[in-house]
Amino acid sequence: MATVFKKPHALRDVPLHYCPGCTHGIVHRLISEVIDELGIEGSTIGVSPVGCTYNNYLYFNCDMVQASHGRAPAVATGIRRALPDKTVFTYQGDGDLAAIGTAEIVHAATRGEKITTIFVNNAIYGMTSGQMAPTTLLNQVTTTTPYGRKADLHGFPIHVCEMLATLEGTAFIERVSLHDIKNINNAKKAIKKAFEVQLAGKGFSIVEILSTCPSNWGLNPLEAMKWLQENMLPVYQLGNFKGKDLEV
């Protein structure tokens, strides 16, 4: 008998606009399942900036707010301070969070803002045709690094979790991946813990999710999953960087 998977109530029953094989849809479902399980749909507000997920307000049943490129943490800070009884999360890509939004995420984290950030890292700018992102790997080919990223010319990839873990205001930081079922389940656990940390008023929480971009990597979905596993995992170590044993 075939297994029937029930759609989370927090996720709208509409087609997604993402490219075939894109893992954003998985992240959407995981967030929605967590919102359902915690019973917080009516009190949750998400913030979308610019990127492939600019219109994810079409997909979540909770309230959503649109922010300028990189400014989601600043907008989320204002919402959470004005409405302290709400659960607030940002949904950001690596080009958004780790480039134009670096100042916003660093200062929201160091202030210990009681928000949760879902940080999707696919090591490239997805929406704008595959340029080098702050998280692009050394020697990775993009439209702006046709000979591969070189450290002496372009600098090194930014490790967001390791950087934010040095800040006193951060409460929970974890990096997960979506390359297989086991890791998808781990990703959900991390997302749920991050929301629980916020609900407990412990401080800033962030989950970095290693994801694929088959279209801009020039790979099919299966090849993209393998590329993530073989190339991204050695550079971006999975695991908890802060708050593993935090009681919530």
> What pLDDT does 126 receive?
78
Question: Given the structure tokens 């080098």, which residue do they identify?
Answer: 132
Mean pLDDT of 14-40: 95
Mean pLDDT of 202-226: 96
> What pLDDT does 248 receive?
86
CA 125 to CA 131: how far, in whole Å? 5
CA 185 to CA 201: how far, in whole Å? 25
Phi, psi of 121 (to 5 degrees): -110, 105
Question: Given the structure tokens 């929480």, which residue do they identify?
Answer: 205
CA 175 to CA 241: how far, in whole Å? 8
For the chain, the structural domain boundaries read: 24-242
CA 240 to CA 248: how far, in whole Å? 16
> What pLDDT does 3 receive?
59
Mean pLDDT of 186-197: 98
The third-level CATH classification (topology) of the domain covering 24-242 is: Rossmann fold (3.40.50)
Whether 2 shows a pLDDT value over 60: the answer reads no
> What pLDDT does 1 receive?
52
Whether 163 shows a pLDDT value over 60: the answer reads yes
The single-letter code of the amino acid at 72 is: A
> What pLDDT does 185 receive?
97
Which parts of the chain fold into alpha helices (H)?
24-38, 72-82, 94-95, 102-110, 151-154, 160-164, 181-199, 214-217, 221-227, 233-235
Q: Report yes or no: 240 and 162 within 8 Å, Cβ to Cβ.
A: no
> What pLDDT does 78 receive?
98
Whether 32 shows a pLDDT value over 80: the answer reads yes
> What pLDDT does 90 receive?
98
Which parts of 62-207 fold into alpha helices (H)?
72-82, 94-95, 102-110, 151-154, 160-164, 181-199
Q: Which residues of 53-66 are buried (b: 16+ CB within 10 A; e: fewer)?
A: bbebbebbbbbbbe
- List Cα–Cα distances, 11 to 7, 15, 36, 50, 51, in angstroms: 7, 11, 9, 20, 20
203's torsion region: left (phi>0), alpha (psi -120 to 50) or beta?
left
> What pLDDT does 4 receive?
61
The pLDDT mean for the chain works out to 95
